Amino acid sequence: MKSHPYVILGGGIAGLTTAIALKQIGIEAVVIEAAAEIKPVGAGLALAANAMMALLQIGIADQVIPEGRELKAFSIYDQKGQIITRTDTDPAHSRFGISNFTIHRADLHRVLLAQLEPKNVITGMRSVDFSEDSEGYLVRIENGEQIRAKYLIVAEGIHSSIGKQLLPDAKIRFSGYTCWRGVMDNSGLNIAETSETWGKNGRFGVTPLSKKQVYWYACINAPTPNSSLKSYTKADLEANFKDFHFPIPEVLAGTKPDQIIWNDILDLEPLSQFAFGNAVLIGDAAHATTPNMGQGACMAIEDAAVLACCLKRNSDPALAFLEFEKRRLPRTQKIVKDSWRLGKIAQLENPLLMGLRNSFFRMIPKKVTEKQLEALYQVDLS
């Protein structure tokens, strides 16, 4: 049986970033990952200034930045291409000294993995459950192995098995919409702007990445999770979005069908506990959110920075985990709730309500939106 003082369950963005942050403060943690190989699931990602500040604190912003593309503004359009809002991120940049970036998930994972020793990332090990005794935790692995840990950091994402054992009543919610994502070559279209379009039969987002790539996502309302929409082909998506403005039909047309990923949009109803003695939940296992504010991975990265600070300050890790919980609960709960509400607004289908929504958003002064963004990026990482 293998025994480690610190075990991080899950080698996604939360688990890997936390292992790096702990390494910086002299704590060697071992990451236990279910997948046979660490392969990013997904396409593109926005890393907002709050995540970039956390990466700076952890000491890896310089490695991430060259892989990303600066995101200077974000526009929302209606289906015909009329502007609804445009938000410049420059004021936030001046305030926090760092920009927003977009990045391909594969590039981010590669950078994160490169910071860790191969011996500290063990793949092909899916946790099943755990028990506790006087020596700490005993984690049972699907392949029959067992792992001993004194301290457990649970970063297994929204469907975490250990998370379910710690909080059996935690509720995964279906947002009411389902989502496709893809990445395509941007050399022909040269899309320079990050935008989202709110139409009558769905929402479509387009984000240029570095390396002449563009990332897109499409959200369509669905009656139930795992609905028949799941079997939508590229042709179905093209038909659904054919009346949307440039470059949406072109982006879909240029995407290879095998580069399209589908998943329902889910979140975790805000939890009221992250710390459980010598175990702690982080990342999506603690606060999975709908992607409407682009903050899920950003919060996971913040978690890594804050957890390292708490562990540095407290000689007793259980106290560090409690401090982490106290600091992270309010912010993450608020983002999960705000994102849920924003998704409902963005996915409206009733033409009257859509018209009212668009007029309302058009009236919001630029300064107000910029202030909201500044408040979102304002995070205590100490």
Q: How far is CA 132 from the centre of its chain?
A: 31
CA nearest to 246, candidates 197, 292, 202? 197
Per-residue binding letters, 112-131, with ligand FAD (x by CB under 6 A):
--------------xx----
Are 181 and 43 in contact by the 8 Å Cβ rule? The answer is yes
Q: How far is CA 92 from the centre of its chain?
A: 20
**What whole-number distance in Å separates Cα of residue 201 and Cα of residue 241?**
8
Longest dimension (CA), the chain: 64
List binders of ligand FAD among 58-87 (CB under 6 A): none
Nearest distance from C-beta of residue 341 to ligand FAD, angstroms: 17
Per-residue binding letters, 158-187, with ligand FAD (x by CB under 6 A):
--xx-----------------x-x------
Hey, which bits of 27-71 come out as E strands? 29-32, 44-47, 69-71
Q: Which residue in the set 68, 176, 296, 317 belongs to the binding site for ligand FAD (CB under 6 A)?
A: 296
Using CB under 6 A, count the residues that bind ligand FAD: 34
Per-residue binding letters, 321-360, with ligand FAD (x by CB under 6 A):
----------------------------------------
Q: Which residue in the set 74, 96, 217, 276 belongs to the binding site for ligand FAD (CB under 6 A)?
A: 217
Nearest distance from C-beta of residue 245 to ligand FAD, angstroms: 21
Q: Which residue in the set 155, 320, 336, 346 belongs to the binding site for ligand FAD (CB under 6 A)?
A: 155
Backbone angles phi, psi at 344, to 5 degrees: -65, -40
CA nearest to 306, candidates 95, 64, 11, 51? 51
**What whole-number distance in Å separates Cα of residue 78 and Cα of residue 223?**
23
Q: Which residue in the set 7, 21, 22, 32 belongs to the binding site for ligand FAD (CB under 6 A)?
A: 32
Are 128 and 140 in contact by the 8 Å Cβ rule? The answer is yes
Q: Which residue in the set 19, 21, 33, 69 belongs to the binding site for ligand FAD (CB under 6 A)?
A: 33
Q: Does 281 bind ligand FAD (CB under 6 A)?
A: no
When the beta carbons of 95 and 126 are compared against ligand FAD, the nearer one is 126
Are 112 and 121 in contact by the 8 Å Cβ rule? The answer is no
Q: How far is CA 127 from the centre of its chain?
A: 22
Backbone angles phi, psi at 227, to 5 degrees: -75, 180
Q: Does 300 bind ligand FAD (CB under 6 A)?
A: yes
Query: Contact residues for ligand FAD (CB under 6 A)?
Result: 9-15, 32-35, 42, 45-46, 126-127, 155-157, 160-161, 179, 181, 217, 263, 283-284, 291, 294-298, 300
